[in-house]
Chain A
Amino acid sequence: AQRVTQPEKLLSVFKGAPVELKCNYSYSGSPELFWYVQYSRQRLQLLLRHISRESIKGFTADLNKGETSFHLKKPFAQEEDSAMYYCALLSGNTPLVFGKGTRLSVIA
């Protein structure tokens, strides 16, 4: 069965420090991976998807099929990055599968 693992429930970093939110998946085929973000008092929204290869708000994520990972990275954290981040997997004919989420807290 498809599964998404986000090993950290909470990640605290200082402003200006690098951030890496980990995501690992299990799927034997060709996956599509996404990162969704939920800021305080806002709706959950798409941050980025691997096929678009974009950098959104300074965040990037590279799909590593060998390690089955899709870690989210940003070189310099900002206070406004504090939010809940969900990694999600699209595979085969099944709907998106979300991980349990990581709460990022950026400390001033």
Chain B
Amino acid sequence: DAGITQSPRHKVTETGTPVTLRCHQTENHRYMYWYRQDPGHGLRLIHYSYGVKDTDKGEVSDGYSVSRSKTEDFLLTLESATSSQTSVYFCAISESRIEETQYFGPGTRLLVL
């Protein structure tokens, strides 16, 4: 497995609380991505980053924000969690967009009650 870790791996939270998920890589890859995986919807891109402090929105960015202050860390924040954000969240990295072979983290299961 590529050097990608996600924390926490599991989280249960209540509606309205803020939640931050962390993705950490040791590969020095430029691109990092956050996806959510839901039955019937597959993988949907939330946000991605193409460098430190450089981020852009994906298909389902509403209700999420991201930050990347270091090459190795990409944080996903749910400012005020809702039940519709219950999902499995995957982080991925790629060396460049052109290459675009993405390497995925193990995922974080988030349950919003």
Contacts and interface: CB of A to CB of B under 8 A. Distances in A.
Contact of B90 (A6, A32, A44, A96): A44
Given A95-B33, A95-B48, A46 B102 contact: yes
Contacts of B35: 98
A101 B43 contact: yes
A43 interface: yes
Contact of B106 (A43, A49, A86, A90): A43
A95 B43 contact: no
Interface residues of B, number: 22
Interface string A91-102: 001011111110
A29 B1 CA distance: 33
Contacts of B104: 43-45
Contacts of A97: 45
A96 B42 contact: no
A95 B58 contact: yes
Nearest to A96: B100
Nearest to A103: B39
A17 B108 CA distance: 35
Given A32-B100, A46-B102, A86 B40 contact: no
A95 B42 contact: no
Contacts of B92: 44
Interface of A: 6, 9, 32, 34, 36, 43-46, 49, 86, 90, 93, 95-101
10 closest Cβ contacts across the A-B interface? A100-B42, A98-B43, A44-B104, A101-B42, A43-B104, A90-B100, A46-B101, A98-B42, A95-B48, A43-B106
28 contacts: A9-B40, A34-B100, A34-B101, A43-B104, A43-B105, A44-B43, A44-B92, A44-B104, A45-B103, A45-B104, A46-B101, A46-B102, A49-B101, A86-B43, A90-B100, A95-B33, A95-B45, A95-B48, A95-B58, A95-B97, A95-B100, A96-B102, A98-B35, A98-B42, A98-B43, A99-B42, A100-B41, A101-B42
